[in-house]
Structure 1
Amino acid sequence: MMNFLSRGSDTPDAKEILEQLLEATPQPTAMAPRDCRGIYGLVDHFGDLRYIGSTTSESETFYKRIHQRHRTGSETTSHYFSRMYKTGRMWRQRNDPATKADGDIAKKLRNEFVAEYCKAVWVPLADALDIARLEQEVIALADQ
C-alpha cells in the first residue's frame, strides 16, 4: 500500500486513494496499523470491498477504528462488521436480559467469524490533511 505520510507536501487526491484501496491486498483486521490514521476499506467474507471509512478523530488509529470498533462494536451504530453480520446464529438483541447468555455467545461467534474471514485495506495519510473531506470524495468516486 502506498504511504502518503512519506510523500512530503504532495497531497493525494481522492482518485489516488481509491485506487490504492482497490489495489491493496486485504489484511486481517488485527494487522491494521496502531500508529497512524487515514482512509480504509472493509472487505467482506467474499472478498468484496463493502465499506469505506476514515479515522477522522485524532485519537483513533486504523487498529482502533477497524479492529476494535467495526469488528466488535455495537450493532446499532456505524460499526460495519458488527451490524452486517448480526444475522442467524450471530444475531443478538443487545441489552435484552432474557437473551443475554445466548447473546454473549452470538457476539463472540460473530467477532471470531469477522476476525477469521473479513479483512481490511488502508491508506495512511498525514494528520495535517483534511481526512474527512478526502473520505467524502473517495466515497463519491466509489459510488459512480
Structure 2
Amino acid sequence: MDVHVHFLTDHYVRTAKDAGHLHPDGGPGWPTWSAAEHLDLMDRCSIAASILSISSPGVSFGDPAATRALARHVNDAGAEVQRAHPSRFGHFAALLPASRAGSTPRESVNGGSRATLRRRISWRSVGARGRRAAE
C-alpha cells in the first residue's frame, strides 16, 4: 500500500498557478496526474492500493471562500477516483485551515465525500519482510 500519492486536477493546477505557484516545491513545473496512468504504475510496481492527497502548497491561497471551494473541489475529485476504483484508491481529505477559512475540519469535507479523515496514521509492522501498512 502506498500512502503517499499526490494527485492533481487541472482546476487545482490552474488555481495554484493563478496564485503564483509556478514551481511547486522548487520543481521545474507542475506534473500531470491521471488515475489511469497511476493504476498502470501501481500494476507495474505491484502496489495493491494507493491513498491520494493534495501536495503542497495545499488549498489555501489567501481568500477563505476560494479556499473552501478549492478544498471541496479536490475532495470531490479524490472521492470520484475512489468511487471509480474502490479497491485501488482511497484519499485523505484536504482540510481547511480553521483559523483562516472560518470552518472546522469536519466542514472541510463535502457531506457526499467518502474521504479518509485521520488526525494521524498509526503504523504497525506486518509480515516477515517488515512491510508497513496504515491502520
Instruction: Report the TM range for the smaller structure's normalisation.
Output: under 0.3
- TM-score normalised by L of structure 2: 0.27
Larger RCO, structure (CA 8 Å, separation 6 or more): 1
Tell me the TM-score normalised to structure 1 length: 0.25
Give the structure with the higher percent helix. Answer: 1
